[in-house]
Amino acid sequence: MELLQPILHYGGHFLAPFLIAWAIYRTDWKRFGAVMVASNAIDIDHLWAVPMFDPDRCSIGFHTFHGWEAALIYLALLLVPRWWARALGAGALWHLAVDAGDCMAMGGL
Ligand SMILES: [Zn+2]
């Protein structure tokens, strides 16, 4: 379990987006997946968190871009008729789902 968790975390952040992209946008899944991975940049909100990194902290609801207000913006992006906006929105929502999975794994959600 101690080893499995980081594998699930990083696999979820960097590999799963390509699987999702392949499932929903097969014609151009590499580009779609790459933009989904790029939306992991929402983790930049950790830079102004104190302390900056805490492995036992649940990101959801704590960090600026990991709250429900941010999630609404990501949902709105899905409605924009541009593939890259949808990829960003889907990637950010997926990112929240992976982080929420971490919280559940540590019993914090
Ligand atoms: Zn995160």
Kindly report, residue by residue over 72-82, the tens digit of the pLDDT: 999 999 999 99
- Work out how many domains the chain is built from and give that number: 1
Distance CA 87, CA 85 (A): 5
Q: What is the pLDDT of residue 52?
A: 80
Kindly report, residue by residue over 32-66, the tens digit of the pLDDT: 999 999 999 999 998 888 888 787 888 999 999 99
**40 CA distance to ligand 1 middle (Å):** 7
Residue 18's identity, in one-letter code, is: F
Residue 106's identity, in one-letter code, is: M
Protein residues within 5 Å, CB atom, of ion ligand 1: 43, 59, 99
Q: What is the pLDDT of residue 106?
A: 81
Reported pTM: 0.90
- Domain of residue 45: give its range: 4-105
Dihedral over alpha carbons 66, 96, 17, 40 (to 10 degrees): 20
Average pLDDT over the chain reads 92
Q: Taking each helix axis from N to C terminus, what angle separates 83-105 and 29-38, rounded to the nearest 10 degrees? A: 60
Distance CA 15, CA 86 (A): 18
